[in-house]
Amino acid sequence: MMTTINDIAKLAGVSRTTVSRFLNSNGYVGQEARERIEQVIEETGYMPSQSAKSLRTKKTGVIGIILPKISTETSSRVVSGINEVMKKKGMQILLTDTELDPDKEIEYLRLLKSRQADGIILLATNISERLQREIHATPVPVVALGQDVPGIPSLTYADYDASSDMMQLLIGKGHKRIGFIGVAQTDPAVGGTRQKAYKDMMEKHGLEVREAWMAEGDFSIESGYEAMKRIITDNRTEIPTAVFCVTDRMATGAMEYLKEQGYRIPEDIAVAGIGDAVMSKYISPSLTTMDYFNEEAGEAIAEMLLAIMAGENSDKKNMHKYRLIKRDSV
Amino acid sequence: MMTTINDIAKLAGVSRTTVSRFLNSNGYVGQEARERIEQVIEETGYMPSQSAKSLRTKKTGVIGIILPKISTETSSRVVSGINEVMKKKGMQILLTDTELDPDKEIEYLRLLKSRQADGIILLATNISERLQREIHATPVPVVALGQDVPGIPSLTYADYDASSDMMQLLIGKGHKRIGFIGVAQTDPAVGGTRQKAYKDMMEKHGLEVREAWMAEGDFSIESGYEAMKRIITDNRTEIPTAVFCVTDRMATGAMEYLKEQGYRIPEDIAVAGIGDAVMSKYISPSLTTMDYFNEEAGEAIAEMLLAIMAGENSDKKNMHKYRLIKRDSV
DNA sequence: AAATGATGTGTAATCGATTACACATCATCC
DNA sequence: GGATGATGTGTAATCGATTACACATCATTT
């Protein structure tokens, strides 16, 4: 069937040890042997079995990625960045998708362990005790992106600062009644930190944080639409003059509702998002948002993982840069 | 270090054969042995080594995907669909990204072969001789999505019909001067077929196919913008009254340019795209486009691959359904 | 000329699983 | 009560690579 190192050895008239040395370019291999092996490999199209190799070396050349959802813009940018640096090291990427289910984060951690991934990048949505225990029981390096998971190196987005800056922009424009569309608190970064920054900034500037101006969505465009609808219909008299949405998708949904109802953006109500989805530049009005440089973040976390795999004793907690993109919705 | 099947056997006081039988639930395992093994596994958190398993069984439980570009909406939808069906079978996905480089398609085919993927899904951008030869030399099933690669089963989008339908819509609205923004012919499906449908339909309805009304982009939004610009500036007197773009991204770019120049869409110029990018619904005016059901296509190609892996002698060439989405840009 | 080190190659153990085969034991059937 | 088949377990070969170790040859050094 598949040609093996033994076949190559036989055909080239050498021992498989020599073939192995040739393949891995370690140890000495004579000119003659080298040429014969080269030729036989060429003829047969031989490729070493990774399974056999991994069994011996304990290295698979694969790094696992645990994503909350495969088909989101953020995920694909991050994966692209990770891939960018990993492929240079000849490493492949094994993808898993938790579909936002915390149990699956644990399940996939186990799975990647059994597949002996050389390292794991976790885009967590929670930081439960169980998850932390499971990570601890993982013999290969695990790093987290976007969420500060205690005990492991991570690269997080500067959610607090970015959200504060966005609020600052809104407040600087004179807005007093600012609404908020967030997500569930179980997600510490997106649900927790961004909301905390919102509240802190409101209080810091002596502005009222009114429950009725806050609504929760689930990352989807539709949920942004519904959240906005709730805010408007629950506040007949005093509706907000600006709304801070924690994602661009929800901001897009919110804008849809507002436009439908005849509100002018930003004259009647300003809208801000986070994430710089491609779309945000092309909707009308274009959306003021935060660029989180997801692809670069992917590259950075990959570099971190690589460094740790190379033995660097890293316990780093890094924060990634961000950039405010002012457009027409504010 | 890692606990192995031997450790489990020793701790449970049985042979590793029995443990293996327990793990794979084949052969008989007595009640007592079963319980002891169960307990030891629980205690140790043991997970069988996939490398060792694969070495023996020749099955890795991994299927490889070769993508032209990881971070596109199409790719991530397709991958999501593939993942959807693969995970039910306990299969993992190994991603590779050719960055639109035909040589890499071959390189990754080799790589996936050496990693002994159980099957390969190829989202090809070309169908060169070399590629076909390499596929032929691959001992595991290879299927193609989106491109009809001779000699292997494939699921293609109904590019000709979909494009014809779109042209029909445009022509039905009374347009006579219809422009076209395409991509390089090296991509048979997107570059070739869609353009052919455009030309055929023009001719069929006795409409002039003017070179100056056709421009080529590279899938990017910016290239759509530039292509539109070229069409407008090269046709001072007789500009098209409609433009058919082969992707939504390029259509978006084209619309940007038109809006910038003060053209009204669709009154002055109608624009149509293909792909139903999320964005297309939210830009102004919303874009008339074709839904290719990428996620379902991903599921379908995964099912095809699975069937072939299960021994079904499939040589099928399927075509995926599509749906015209009429919105406001036409 | 003997010692030394570089060069080149092979033998055999090993990684952690699966599985064909052999061998017990025990209940059931005629 | 011996044949039969189901149940339960172990021995050992095997998958395809890597690598420690041994050994041979040859050139160079002293």
Return the pLDDT at B311.
85
Q: What is the pLDDT of residues A61-73, one digit of tens each?
A: 999 999 999 889 9
Contacts of A76 in chain B (CB under 8 A): 70-72, 75-76
What is each CA distance from A193 to A126, A159, A185, A262, in whole angstroms? 13, 6, 9, 32
Confirm whether any atom of chain C, the nucleic acid strand, is less than 7 Å from CB of B26.
yes
Write out chain A residues lying below 8 Å of B50, CB-based. Answer: 114-116
pLDDT for position B17: 94
**For range A1-13, the mean pLDDT:** 90
The model's pTM is: 0.92
Probe site for chain A from B4, B41, B50 (most A CB atoms < 10 A) = B50
Whether omega before A139 lies within 30 degrees of 0, making that bond cis, reads: no
Write the residue in A111, A115, A278 that is nearest to B279 by C-beta.
Answer: A278
Residue spans of alpha helices (H) in B234-293:
248-260, 278-282
Kindly report, residue by residue over A280-321, the tens digit of the pLDDT: 999 999 999 999 999 999 999 999 999 999 888 778 899 999
Give B46's Cβ-side CA count (13 Å radius). Answer: 21
Range A1-17 average pLDDT: 91
Closest CA relative to residue B66, chosen from B14, B8, B17, B115: B115
Number of CB atoms found within 10 A of residue B103's CB? 11
* B 28-67: CB within 7 Å of strand D: 28-34, 52, 55-56
Q: How far apart are CA B286 and CA B271, in angstroms?
A: 10
Say what the pLDDT of residue B1 is. Answer: 63
Q: Give the Cα separation of A21 and A30 in Å (integer).
A: 11
For A248, the closest chain B residue by CA position comes to B279
A270-272, strands of its sheet edge to edge: A214-217, A178-183, A242-245, A270-272
Paired tokens of B88: 């039910």
pLDDT by 10-residue block (mean), chain B, 330 residues: 90 94 91 93 92 94 94 94 94 92 91 92 92 90 94 95 98 97 96 98 96 96 98 90 98 98 97 97 97 98 94 86 97
Would the CB atoms of B221 and A278 count as touching at under 8 Å? Answer: yes
User: Please, are residues B180 and B198 in contact by the beta-carbon 8 Å criterion?
Assistant: yes
**Rg of chain B, C-alpha, whole Å:** 26
Q: Are strands B154-157 and B142-145 parallel, antiparallel or unpaired?
A: parallel
Do residues A54 and B59 lie in contact, with contact meaning Cβ atoms separated by under 8 Å? no
- Closest partner residue to A279 (CB to CB) among B116, B139, B278 is B278
